[in-house]
Amino acid sequence: MAETGIKPEGCPTRPTLNFSYAGLIFSPDGNRIYFTVNEGRGTATLFQMAEFGGPSRKVIDDVDSEISFSPDGQQIAFLREYPLQKGSALLVANTDGTAERTLATRNGINNLFSTPGAGATAWSPDGKVIVCPVRTADETGRYMTLVEVLVADGSQKQMAPNRWWNVGNVLWLSNGQGLMFTARERPGSPSQIWYLSYPGGKVRAITNELSDYASISLTADSNALAAVVSDLTSKIWTMPGTTSRGARQVTDNKFDGFRGLSWMRDGRIIYTSRASGSQELWTINANGTGQRQLTSDAGNNIDPCVSSDGHFVVFVSDRTGNRHIWRLDIDGSNPETVDQWVP
């Protein structure tokens, strides 16, 4: 997504507003470019323009996801959210914006097509199925999954039993026998590339790394894949309170402190780290010595905060499947929940 003060022709004149652009995609024939423009009012508008630029034309208002094309290139599919009604819908329309119709709906705050930050819907090569990411929740926690919607009648079916924390863009293989997509298993885990067989519904991870795969793209014959990889580095430093001179690096692992840190009353630091493979709490002296793991094999633990008396640390953890606020004695003993579900 890019932000700029330059707006496409056809957008209303709001000279002081930054416009956000997203969902850039070529039409199947390569002659047109489609993209969404968000004026910062919560909804986006779909535009199209010629491949070499020139005037743009508004296609559809209120488009809350990237679009995907039908195999014949004559229709588009997209998602729209209805916040007041706590619902969402999958819609299809002609590529010029005409003949818009609702194909399927989902209702309830914990049963929606995933529109905020969602990748495109994925229209199957035979034109019979559109795959959508869905966010939902039950008594064990919040999760996302993939749902197939039949174009003929709008009926819906969950494609696999897996529960991901987040699902990104989804792509069909050219032979229609499977899909590739990006997904994050847990809140603190990196986004990886996955494969889902169709119609079998068998899932396997293609990558297993600490790097985040932000998005993927397949060649037309599905023989090659390109990916955008986000490589984040976070380390803890200390410095005098009034100047950056004398700043000193305290830790050296890749994601130290990225999901929170807090001073302890005795001068140590409690912080998050993936050094053990999962998001755990660690402690360390301010001079970098005495590193110690405080939690172990207990889901993802983030946002630590030491109590004013120094006896406890509270933090957010999904160790039971749902996110709760937990409390530990300062030595890591006696873990217990102190709240209800944290959404």
Q: Supply the pLDDT for residue 40.
A: 66
Provide the pLDDT confidence category of residue 119 given band limits of 50, 70 and 90. Answer: low
Q: Supply the pLDDT for residue 18.
A: 64
Question: Once rounded to an integer, what is the mean pLDDT over residues 310-316?
Answer: 94
Q: Where are the domains of the chain?
A: 64-230, 237-337
Q: Supply the pLDDT for residue 271.
A: 96
232 touches 255 (CB < 8 A): yes
**In whole angstroms, how far apart are CA 60 and each of 3, 92, 98, 307?**
20, 11, 9, 52
pLDDT tens column, 184-215: 887 767 899 999 999 999 999 999 987 889 88
Mean per-residue pLDDT of the chain: 87
Q: Supply the pLDDT for residue 10.
A: 46
Q: Supply the pLDDT for residue 13.
A: 43
29, two tokens: 């024939």
Long-range CB contacts for residues 211-214, cutoff 8 Å, separation at least 24: 213/168, 213/182, 214/168, 214/182
Counting beta carbons within 10 angstroms of the beta carbon of residue 195, is it exposed (0 to 12), middle (13 to 18) or buried (19 or more)? middle
Percent of the chain with pLDDT over 70: 91
Q: Supply the pLDDT for residue 120.
A: 72
Provide the pLDDT confidence category of residue 19 given band limits of 50, 70 and 90. Answer: confident
- Intrachain domains 64-230 and 237-337 with the same fold: yes
Q: Residue 253 pLDDT > 50, yes or no?
A: yes
**In whole angstroms, how far apart are CA 117 and each of 5, 63, 127, 166, 181?**
22, 12, 25, 10, 14
| Residue 271 vs residue 241, higher pLDDT | 271
Q: Residue 141 pLDDT > 80, yes or no?
A: no
- Backbone angle region of 137, left / alpha / beta, with phi > 0 → left and psi within -120 to 50 → alpha: beta
69, two tokens: 């094309």
**In whole angstroms, how far apart are CA 135 and each of 91, 123, 285, 329?**
17, 19, 41, 35
Q: Supply the pLDDT for residue 11.
A: 46
Q: Supply the pLDDT for residue 278.
A: 81
Residues whose CB falls within 8 Å of the CB of residue 126, separated by 6 or more in sequence, listed in order: 71, 176
Q: Supply the pLDDT for residue 53.
A: 80
pLDDT tens column, 28-76: 999 999 999 887 666 789 999 998 888 899 999 999 888 999 999 999 9
Compute the Cα dihedral for 96, 97, 101, 105 and give only its sign: positive
Question: Once rounded to an integer, what is the mean pLDDT over residues 163-169?
Answer: 90
**Mean pLDDT lowest among 1-5, 211-215, 258-262, 315-319:** 1-5
Provide the pLDDT confidence category of residue 242 given band limits of 50, 70 and 90. Answer: confident
Provide the pLDDT confidence category of residue 92 given band limits of 50, 70 and 90. Answer: very high
Provide the pLDDT confidence category of residue 255 given band limits of 50, 70 and 90. Answer: confident
Q: Supply the pLDDT for residue 206.
A: 95
CA–centroid distance for 148 within its chain: 19
Q: Does domain 64-230 have CATH number 2.120.10.30?
A: yes
Nearest CA-CA partner of 251 in 283, 296, 294, 297:
283
Q: Supply the pLDDT for residue 3.
A: 45
Q: Supply the pLDDT for residue 243.
A: 77
CATH superfamily of 237-337: TolB, C-terminal domain (2.120.10.30)
Nearest CA-CA partner of 131 in 149, 105, 117:
149
- Backbone angle region of 160, left / alpha / beta, with phi > 0 → left and psi within -120 to 50 → alpha: beta
